Chain A
């Protein structure tokens, strides 16, 4: 080890240089930031001009990397499509809409950073996001403090119900998904339901709603949790299998984890009756790829009426622009509606977060591509889920 001591003398100067550069960079950054704050008062006047004629910025916070990027990427496409349509039809009273997209990585920490950036740097008055409940739960307090309206097209955790007057969502709460799943399980005569749950807000919300209703109905749940990004579920599955459950409920945040679980089920040679949550059931490609394993699996989805004219037009426009079909038959529709809702709100009350939030509570039977939207006083969307089952790689309405 002596030689290492000797070399550290020579390397010390490099380290000093690096530390020096970091310190200089921090000082410069600090000065710039301080200056910005000082000029705040002065620049506000000059900003009002561009605020009246320039494009209206809308913040979007979606997961663009990690497992949940499977939602974020098509989500961005949907939002872009809607904005282009609105802009080509004259925008908002002559002003164009502009999307500022940030990656919240489906977690609270990055979502808070994304929200801070959207609110403080881009000065948005409305944020569309997030898809992940964990991310939305982190953004809400920041949006509330800055009086910025926030609409989520995909976060379904029950904790978001009535969380803030600035928040509303156009997708129903998981409380309805979980309890419906419990009722279906009871009807099927299941006594013990084994849950494999990712420990994130969305899957835990589904589990809690299920457990509450299922215990009321006289059933029993057993549960194993796994952390996000886990890839080895063998021992959890081994433990659940040993307790001979009637059904295995696969309850992840996003389809990739479900796919890994299915593969390991197959490797372990266990073929239980499967229940999947909406995150998995909503992914058309996932169902197709795993149709052999999933045949007969149960699930429930927030029902989107794909037959109405507006909804058909949306699917066509999407295919024309991107060359593929819509990936998610619920989130895609609510994302599209979120943009149009915000656009309508901007026309009605102007670019003001507080007014937009108040306006959202007045929505009643607003017709979007996801169906009629009514926002309850607690910010939740009215309407619910319907039970389904997998048949030949597709979700079809549940039949006895």
Chain B
């Protein structure tokens, strides 16, 4: 059997999720410039909110998904106001913010585990069969098609916002130089809060898709975060376009990398790629900043 079409599809499926996480992560990073460890937790919140509303309260999936995305975004928005804003006002270093976000990540994971138990759950109904599309000798499910399409749509939407709106211009100004942005009258704290809201909504959406495609567990945040970060670094820190490309590059590298060797090497390939980029092209595919200047 010809396995090439399926490997390509598998790469696209994995790449879509990495791209979604990396785009949200880089969008936030472009304004805050610290490694937000809690980014994977937003995905976790999205997935579990849908789980709660659709499985425990029997709400229609459509509404549960809307609430899930909103819950992830609002959590990030509120946490920014209550934790990151005071740290910014105190002019804390990025290291302090990183440590604070590790704390947040741990707390969110623990709270979710307490509320929903540590067991693996799936959002889709295991008895129902979803639509499967055949492409050549490969197959792809409906959820996976939605993953891919939403990655493209969100990429396009973010690009339009950044290029053509006042909000996007403010973000660009802020990401170039925060002090100057302040001087010209941009309310940077407000912008950053909204950027958190949007970035976390994207992560929440990714978490929900993962929940429908494979399933959710409280510890899923770290795995998603790490893959998102790898995709961001190889794509170019702070660049939304870079994150999109980085996500798919990572997806293809992982799935084609194990074509001839055993699947246990997947993570090693991902992080090997990261190290190669850090050594030979630290600015990533699309150069925005040089990562070694940020940390």
Extra A-B contacts (5), CB below 8 Å, given A65-B113, A235-B258, A235-B266: A3-B178, A65-B118, A73-B117, A231-B223, A242-B1
Minimum CB distance partner of A3 in chain B: B179
A-B CB proximity, top 3 nearest: A256-B120, A11-B93, A10-B91
Q: Is A224 an interface residue (CB 8 A)?
A: yes
Q: Judging by beta carbons under 8 Å apart, are B259 and A239 in contact?
A: yes
Q: How far is the CA of A2 from the CA of B217 in the complex (A)?
A: 41
Given contacts A18-B99, A65-B118, A260-B214, contact A238 B7 (CB under 8 A): yes
Given contacts A1-B289, A10-B91, A238-B6, contact A292 B118 (CB under 8 A): no
B215: contacting residue among A225, A259, A267, A269, CB under 8 A:
A259
Q: Judging by beta carbons under 8 Å apart, are A14 and B92 in contact?
A: yes
Q: How far is the CA of A132 from the CA of B219 in the complex (A)?
A: 19
**Interface code B59-98, partner A: CB below 8 Å = 1, 0 otherwise?**
0000000000000000000000000000000111111100
Q: How far is the CA of A231 from the CA of B214 in the complex (A)?
A: 7
Q: Judging by beta carbons under 8 Å apart, are B120 and A260 in contact?
A: yes
Given contacts A1-B293, A3-B179, contact A238 B3 (CB under 8 A): yes
Q: Is A349 an interface residue (CB 8 A)?
A: no
Q: Is B264 an interface residue (CB 8 A)?
A: yes
Given contacts A65-B113, A224-B263, contact A238 B120 (CB under 8 A): no
- B113 → chain A closest CB, angstroms: 7
Given contacts A65-B113, A232-B14, A242-B3, contact A223 B262 (CB under 8 A): yes
Q: Judging by beta carbons under 8 Å apart, are A238 and B293 in contact?
A: no
Q: How far is the CA of A1 from the CA of B177 in the complex (A)?
A: 7
Interface of A is mostly: helix
Minimum CB distance partner of A9 in chain B: B91
Q: Judging by beta carbons under 8 Å apart, are B93 and A263 in contact?
A: no
Given contacts A3-B177, A11-B96, contact A69 B118 (CB under 8 A): yes
Q: Judging by beta carbons under 8 Å apart, are A269 and B132 in contact?
A: yes
Q: How far is the CA of A73 from the CA of B114 in the complex (A)?
A: 13
Q: Is A318 an interface residue (CB 8 A)?
A: no
Q: How far is the CA of A328 from the CA of B134 in the complex (A)?
A: 39
Chain A residues within 8 Å of chain B by Cβ, number: 51
Docked complex: A54-80 residues within 8 A CB-CB of B: 64-67, 69-70, 73
Q: Judging by beta carbons under 8 Å apart, are A66 and B93 in contact?
A: no
B91: contacting residue among A7, A260, A266, CB under 8 A:
A7
Minimum CB distance partner of B90 in chain A: A14
CB neighbours (8 Å) of B146 from chain A are none
CB neighbours (8 Å) of B210 from chain A are 231
Q: How far is the CA of A3 from the CA of B174 in the complex (A)?
A: 11
CB neighbours (8 Å) of A226 from chain B are 263-264, 266
A263: contacting residue among B6, B177, B214, B264, CB under 8 A:
B214
Q: Is A218 an interface residue (CB 8 A)?
A: no
Chain B residues within 8 Å of chain A by Cβ, number: 57
Q: How far is the CA of A73 from the CA of B179 in the complex (A)?
A: 53
Chain A positions within 8 Å of B, measured between CB atoms, are: 1-4, 6-8, 10-12, 14-15, 18, 64-67, 69-70, 73, 199, 223-227, 229-236, 238-239, 241-242, 244, 256, 259-260, 263-264, 266-269, 289-290, 292
Q: Judging by beta carbons under 8 Å apart, are B122 and A259 in contact?
A: yes
CB neighbours (8 Å) of A18 from chain B are 96, 99
Q: How far is the CA of A260 from the CA of B99 in the complex (A)?
A: 33
Given contacts A238-B7, A239-B259, A268-B6, contact A67 B96 (CB under 8 A): no
B118: contacting residue among A66, A223, A266, CB under 8 A:
A66
Docked complex: B171-213 residues within 8 A CB-CB of A: 177-180, 210, 213
Q: Judging by beta carbons under 8 Å apart, are A236 and B215 in contact?
A: no
Minimum CB distance partner of A289 in chain B: B126
Q: Judging by beta carbons under 8 Å apart, are A259 and B141 in contact?
A: no
Q: How far is the CA of A19 from the CA of B246 in the complex (A)?
A: 35
CB neighbours (8 Å) of A231 from chain B are 210, 214-215, 220, 223
CB neighbours (8 Å) of B93 from chain A are 7-8, 11-12, 14-15
Q: How far is the CA of A11 from the CA of B33 in the complex (A)?
A: 15
CB neighbours (8 Å) of A290 from chain B are 126
Q: How far is the CA of A344 from the CA of B267 in the complex (A)?
A: 47
Minimum CB distance partner of A2 in chain B: B177
A-B CB contact pairs (8 Å), 28 listed: A11-B90, A12-B93, A14-B93, A15-B92, A15-B95, A64-B118, A65-B113, A65-B118, A199-B264, A223-B262, A230-B266, A231-B210, A231-B214, A232-B10, A232-B13, A234-B13, A234-B255, A235-B10, A235-B258, A242-B1, A256-B215, A259-B122, A259-B215, A260-B215, A267-B139, A269-B132, A269-B134, A290-B126
